[in-house]
Structure 1
């Protein structure tokens, strides 16, 4: 029995599904998404992927080159460091600490900063004015200087490094959310929601958030990039993790003493850091373009 589909209603696609279709058509962004999942897999299961478990080292095998260079061995694919530790294992651990710490710190900044910035823009009067000027004072101080002050106050460690980065970049995110929300408040649809008696929470959820996704993605990506770079900077200067459990910045710092004799000690962590930042920026740019195309439809 044939079915006449001439008058069948068209299925309306949701904006999220349409955004996914738009994003998937961008091959570069979709490749970046696959690479992000690979990095997350390394960050979660890195201890199982590492060929050697800490604190394995052999001083007799120190400063071995990568296996494709004369003098290298296949059981140390990327070579060894100054005390004979496998560089690939340390690199995987470094990605775990740097990427895992950056993701955790960025999520904490979002969960803390989003309601504070939005509430500061929605509230009026003395409270909003105090919050506004309070965070303006912090924005006048360089974020890295704030991080240094916090690390000096609490002491050098990986946990204190993450705390310092969080507190130093939180004012920037709050200020960015404040400006995004404030720019939407004077639009006609927000005024209509207020005249209909909508609460601030309902206005924020259904009126503002869906319309600031594009700047929100851009702001989040910028904060995430700064988080990674600050973690690496603090680690490079000796304020991060120590010994075997070193993030990428600390690995680069350790390799600087052997930059001419064993350049791979600095080169591989630097490439890993560069690739992480590049991949996440490409992904964020693809998401941003997909959001813009959906909004233009």
Structure 2
């Protein structure tokens, strides 16, 4: 018996489902997303995957090359350092601190920065004016210099490094969200919601936030990229993760003297930083275009 589907209704997708459907059609962005997910999972569960501890020294296996070179050992896929420690284990341990720290900074700064930026944009008067000029003054100082000044005050450590970078990047996010929301406030549908008696919270949640997704994604992506670079930079300079902690920037710094003897000790952490930043930008760009197409 034939089934008549003439009167079946099509399921209407929510805005997020529609954006996700558009994003899935962008193959490169999807590959970048899965690459980042795999890196996050690998760095989280590295102690269970890799048989070697990042601190385990072996005097009989110092400066082994990667296993595909002559003299390499399959038990040490990326070779060993000058103390016989497994390079792959140290690489993923370093990735755990660099990538994990950047994600923590991004989430914390995004939430706090959006709250402050929204409250400043939705508030008129002397409070908004003071915050506006204060942000202009803070943004004249480069974020890395601000982080270095704060590290000098707090003292070098991985936790202090994250705090310093968060505080140095916070004004940038506040300023970016402030400008995006302020630009949206001048549009007619926002004025109509205000005349309809919408509270500031309802105005932000249902009127402003859905329409500033595209600039917000750009700001968050820039925040994450800067966080990765600054964590690695402070680690390289010796102001970030301290021994026995291992971070990608400190891995490069500890191997600079061996660059001619064992160039892979510097190359692999550098390539990892490059891939994390590149894939994050590809993913964010694909998501941004999906949002733009979804709004059209």
Who is 1:91 aligned against? 91
Contact 2:54 2:93 in 1 (8 A): no
Q: Please give the alpha-carbon distance, in whole angstroms, between the structure 2 residues aligned to 1:174 and 1:68.
A: 48
TM superposition shift of 1:54:
4.2
Moved more, 269-278 or 60-69: 60-69
* 2:229 is the counterpart of 1:235: no
Q: Is contact 2:54-2:86 (8 Å) kept? A: no
Correspondence for 1:154? 154
Give secondary structure in 1 for the equivalent of 2:180: helix
TM-score by length of 2: 0.97
Residue 294 (structure 1) aligns with? 294
Q: Report the Cα distance in structure 1 between the residues aligned to 2:36 and 2:67, rounded to whole angstroms.
A: 27
Asked if the contact 2:53–2:86 (Cα under 8 Å) also holds between the matched residues in 1, the reply is no
76-85 or 4-13: bigger deviation: 4-13
After superposition, the Cα gap between the structure-2 partners of 1:244 and 1:64, relative to the gap in structure 1 and judged at 3 Å, is farther
Measure, in 2, the Cα distance between the counterparts of 1:129 and 1:36: 40
Deviation at 1:270, TM superposition (A): 0.5
For residues 134 and 51 of structure 2, the distance between their equivalents in structure 1, rounded to whole angstroms, comes to 49
Match of 1:8 in 2: 8
Question: Is the contact made by 1:90 and 1:244 (CA closer than 8 Å) also made in structure 2?
Answer: no
Q: Which residue of 1 aligns with 2:59?
A: 59
Contact 1:33 1:283 survives alignment (8 Å):
yes
* Residue 2 (structure 1) shift: 4.0
Q: Which residue of 2 aligns with 1:38?
A: 38
Match of 1:47 in 2: 47
Once the 2 structures are TM-superposed, how far is the Cα of residue 111 of structure 1 from its aligned partner? 1.4
Looking at structure 1, the residues matched to 206 and 241 of structure 2 have their Cα atoms a distance apart, in angstroms, of 43
Are residue 201 (structure 1) and residue 201 (structure 2) matched? yes
Instruction: Give 3-state SS (helix, strand or coil) of 2:83's partner.
Output: coil
What SS does the corresponding residue of 2:240 show, helix, strand or coil? coil
SS in 2 for 1:124: coil
Greater mean deviation of Cα atoms: 141-150 or 30-39: 30-39
TM-score of the superposition, structure 1-length normalised?
0.97
Q: In 2, distance between residues paired with 1:251 and 1:50? A: 18
Q: How far, CA to CA, are the matches of 2:174 and 2:43 in structure 1?
A: 28
Structure 1 residue 134 displacement after superposition: 1.1
d(CA) in 2 for partners of 1:184 and 1:279? 30
Tell me what 1:129 maps to: 129
- Which residue number corresponds to residue 138 of structure 1? 138
Which residue does the alignment assign to 2:271?
A: 271
Q: Deviations over 1:17-37 (max 9, x none)?
A: 111111111111111111121
- The equivalences for 1:147-226 within 5 A come to 147-226=147-226
Instruction: In structure 1, list runs of 5 or more residues that go unmatched.
Output: none
- SS, match of residue 45 in structure 2: helix
Tell me, yes or no, if the aligned pair for 2:63 and 2:83 is still in contact at 8 Å.
Answer: yes
Distance of 1:210 and 1:134 partners within structure 2: 28
* Contact map agreement 1:139 1:171 (CA 8 A) in 2: yes
Deviations 1:95-147 (A, max 9, x none): 10000000001111011101000110110001111111111111011111100
Matched residue SS, 2:138: helix
Count of residue pairs brought into register by the alignment: 296
Unaligned runs of 5+ in 2: none
SS at match of 1:66: coil
